[in-house]
Amino acid sequence: MRFLLVLVGFWLLVVLCWPVALLALVLAPLVWLITLPLQLVGIAFAAVFALIGALLMLPARLLGAR
């Protein structure tokens, strides 16, 4: 559904203002490439916090608390 909305929005932009649509078409992969490292950093932080949470809960799990 989201893809369909993006596609309809893009074609509406092509009809109304085609230079902006071409600019968006060119800049979209560049924006994705710029945000990719930030996504990887976010995944790494989530993994570190999950590890810290697991280590903090380990004594309670070993003692049988639920």
pLDDT given for residue 24 in this prediction: 87
Which residues make Cβ contacts (< 8 Å) with residue 25, sequence separation at least 6?
10
Tell me, what's the pLDDT at 25?
87
Query: What would the mean pLDDT of 43-60 be, rounded to a whole number?
Result: 95
Q: Which amino acid is at 26?
A: V
Over residues 8-17, the mean pLDDT reads: 89
Summary count for the chain: helices (H), strands (E): 2, 0
Residue 50 or 14, more confident: 50
> What was the pLDDT predicted at 64?
84
- Whether residue 54 contacts residue 46, with contact meaning beta carbons closer than 8 Å, is answered with no
How many whole angstroms separate alpha carbon 56 and alpha carbon 48?
A: 12
pTM assigned to the model? 0.55
